[in-house]
Amino acid sequence: MGDNKKWTRRAAVGSLVSGGGLMLFGTGGSTHITSNRDVTVNTGDGEDAVLQFVDVSDDATVVRSGSPSVVYEIRDNLGAFESDDIEVEARVVGGGALDTTVSGESDTFEVEVSCSDDKSELSGSYTIELEFTASNSDFTITATRTTGLVDIDCYDFGSSNNYRDSGDVGTAAQPANPKGALESPGSVNDGDGDTFATAVAAQRSKSDKKGGRVGYALPSVEPGGTYELNISYKNSNGSWNVYLKNKTGDEWTQKFSINGGGPDVQSKTVDFNNTDDVKISNNADNLYLIFETTSNGNGVSVDIFSFELSRTGTKAN
């Protein structure tokens, strides 16, 4: 079986039924074939395998909501399967599930992964475990493979788990005692440069003249570093401050102002001091960005296009 010959479906099925052939041992995961006559053998990833499983994750694009990426190819050396015969389950190693699609014709199929609707927290570089099942009337092939690192950005800021305002929507832990509203919360950080969320202060009343306090949960950042916050916004009126909290509400970063800007998009970069860098690192998976104004006027708001907290360097805490 070392001559890498192309199998015909008839030859392969005959070999399986007789209990011989296809005794290949590949690397990177388990694979087996079960014939409809209860003959089970191992197979590998060579050209004389019934199915080759080829890792193409090195060339994968970033996996985003609505933007799947190809991470594996399946090469059918028998011409034995259609795309509908192949099922693939995908899961981030140590994390949540991803949606999969198998497409293609003839002897090559592509396996795409995309963000799952019920998993909005994935943001970073991950390895992905894939479980393949290919089945027809003659035999069933099962295999498990793990990709290289793939960049995934499934974080959904518009998920009710990830933002908070004074209405009956948004369940993030911070800010405490929210005030005002986040309009179109999922339109922040959508990548198209044209849409935005709007933080709107509460209307002034006799009982409460304070303005707005709303916030977003942030994706995890890598600990042990120095950090910066980038914000793009426009049409800020009143005085708006931004700062970070953790889940318990400790107010442990300094406040930074975003003001003015008119109809043109403004960008602001915030560099944190050493004390704040340590606090961010120690709460790397438990961070909230708060937008707050104490302006008393009605109609106080700011349009928020994007924000990102990122690690800019490494250091010991």
Domain boundaries, the chain: 9-153, 163-314
Q: Which of 165, 163, 166, 173 has the alpha carbon at shortest distance from 249? A: 173
Q: Give me the pLDDT at residue 160, please.
A: 86
Q: Give the model confidence (pLDDT) of 136-181 as tens digits.
A: 877 788 889 999 999 998 888 988 889 999 987 888 999 999 999 9
CATH class of segment(s) 163-314: mainly beta
Q: What is the mean pLDDT of residues 248-261?
A: 85
Looking at domain 9-153, does it have CATH number 2.30.30?
Answer: no
Q: Give me the pLDDT at residue 24, please.
A: 36
Q: Give me the pLDDT at residue 19, please.
A: 45
Q: Which segment of 204-208, 292-296, 299-303 scores lowest on mean pLDDT?
A: 204-208
Q: Give me the pLDDT at residue 294, please.
A: 77
Q: Give me the pLDDT at residue 211, please.
A: 83
pLDDT category at 231 given cuts 50, 70, 90 is very high
Strand partners, 140: 34, 135
Q: What is the mean pLDDT of residues 278-289?
A: 94
Q: Give me the pLDDT at residue 87, please.
A: 95
Q: Give the model confidence (pLDDT) of 52-106 as tens digits.
A: 889 999 999 999 877 899 999 998 887 888 899 999 999 999 878 899 999 987 7
Q: What is the mean pLDDT of residues 245-251?
A: 88
